[in-house]
Amino acid sequence: MDRRQLLESILGVSGAALISPAFAGLSLPASLASDPINDHSLVSQFPKGFLWGAATAAYQVEGGWNEDGKAESVWDRFVRVSGNIKNGDTGDVACDSYHRYRDDVALLRQLNCRSYRFSISWPRVLPTMHGAPNAKGLDYYKRLVDALLEAGIRPLATLYHWDMPQEVEDAGGWPNRDVADRFADYVAVVARALSDRVDHWCIFNEPKTFTQLGYWFGKFAPGRKDPLAFLRATHTVNLAQGKAFRVLKSVSAKAQVGSAFDPAPMIPASASAEDRAAADQWFRLNNLWHVWPALTGAYPGGVLPESELPSLLGLQPGDEQLVRAPFDFVGLNYYTRWTVRAVPKGFQGIPGLMADAQWATGPHAKTDIGWDVYPEGFYDIVTRMSRLMGAQMPIEITESGAAYNNPPDAHGVVHDPQRIAYLRAHLRELARAIRDGAPVRAYHAWSLMDNFEWAEGYSQHFGLVAVDAAHGQRRTIKESGRWYARVAAANRVV
């Protein structure tokens, strides 16, 4: 049975290229499932060649918001609206990585990271929709990538981590179908400039998040609250994903291309048939809406009325081919689980949607941002997504981590045992998933350092490294960072 037949049989929907010799360790690890492990001391061992890394995003760490020809982004605009961001924080300076990227690369080496997932700022590279690329912006990313390569660290570049140029939003933003072509133009500029240095690309980070929170719930930039605009945005993003995939492949034959998604376990609020059906529907919307079209050319059934898909999404003939993106790998982000309940009268004006979800509640321990600590969900979602996407689809964990806001002690040391416990439990579940056949080849901790955490501003700390803005952006590796460095060196959970 081929991958598409497998997908259709599971959900009832219609509708590995060579690795760069410079990073031979990226070859897909052989499944450990065929070799039963009797020694329980090896349960936390990772396959030979597994890549340990860390992740950041441009708006969250770069700063330099209006330097060297960079244009205004939707986040530059959004943070200036009173009440949008906790404490009125902005990303104007963030971690100042635009000037201190060499410090960041040095930190990655100290953490024994062999991969760095970072994002490229669209408005820094292509400030206007119809103007020339910004050479100074491109030069920054060339310098960053060169520094990574010199340090023996693989660059994993994300092309969109939520910072759309404000000019593009003013022209309609993601609900405007034409933006798919604008995005493809930007991707072509980046690919031509960096594909001699970068082989591995994520097109999007969490398209579910920036479309829902940006256009439906209004919590993230650009702050719109229009469920129908949200639906249109999801289709434009899927078109852009397919177009970007083809652009990257046309520019570089060696490009390895994927996207990063944030699937999560959907837990029914009760044992009722209605809540179980709602959890299944929300699983399809949140976890598959942007994966399924790329792999099959079709949207997952059971979310929107099939007869209304053309009008709700703005479908046009041939779109089933345009959205296709036969990924070389898929990135998965994991943090927590969701609780889902049935809404008999429908939810938020979206036709056919009979489910409502929220961050899980209950007796589980919570991180400081209030999310459930649910490590077994990591195993569940990785193995389930692997089965759905096809057993041979390589997976990289592109983000995973926790917010714990431990301050430094009198000696400047950050003791954060909760983060160590969180990572240890989750990495053991990931090792178990790999042992049971999930083809995971890399793990990137979120985040390399404390940074601008979107609507939470600087109030939530996800980093392995503390950043002290009051003392010249001083970076200090936390105890969790030193623990992570030992894990990466040993290639096993310690």
Query: Cα torsion for 221, 225, 226, 227, to the nearest 10°?
Result: 90
**pLDDT(273) > 60:** yes
Among 26-35, 318-327, 398-407, the minimum mean pLDDT is found in 26-35
- pLDDT recorded at residue 43: 74
Structure tokens at 29: 């690890």
- pLDDT recorded at residue 6: 40
Q: For the chain, what is the mean pLDDT?
A: 92
Q: Is the pTM of this model over 0.75?
A: yes
Structure tokens at 414: 């950050």
**pLDDT(197) > 70:** yes
Q: List, for residues 288-313, the tens digit of each pLDDT value.
A: 999 999 999 999 999 999 999 999 99
**pLDDT(479) > 60:** yes
Which residue type occupies 483? W
Positive or negative, the CA dihedral 95, 98, 103, 105 is: positive
Residues β-bridged to residue 397: 332, 443
Q: For the chain, what are the domain ranges?
A: 3-490
Section 44-58 average pLDDT: 98
Section 412-432 average pLDDT: 98
Q: List, for residues 336-367, the tens digit of each pLDDT value.
A: 999 999 999 999 999 999 999 998 777 789 99
Structure tokens at 199: 């082989």
Compute the distance between CA of residue 261 and CA of residue 431 in angstroms, rounded to an integer. 20
Among 166-170, 383-387, 471-475, the minimum mean pLDDT is found in 471-475
**pLDDT(99) > 50:** yes
Q: Which CATH class is domain 3-490?
A: alpha beta
**pLDDT(13) > 70:** no
Q: How far is CA 123 from CA 68, 247, 327, 437, in A?
A: 11, 19, 26, 40
In percent, the amount of the chain with pLDDT more than 90 equals: 89
Q: How confident is the model at residue 25 (pLDDT cuts 50, 70, 90)?
A: very low
Section 423-449 average pLDDT: 98
**Residues belonging to the active site:** 206, 399
Compute the distance between CA of residue 218 and CA of residue 222 in angstroms, rounded to an integer. 7
- pLDDT recorded at residue 42: 57
Which residue type occupies 435? R
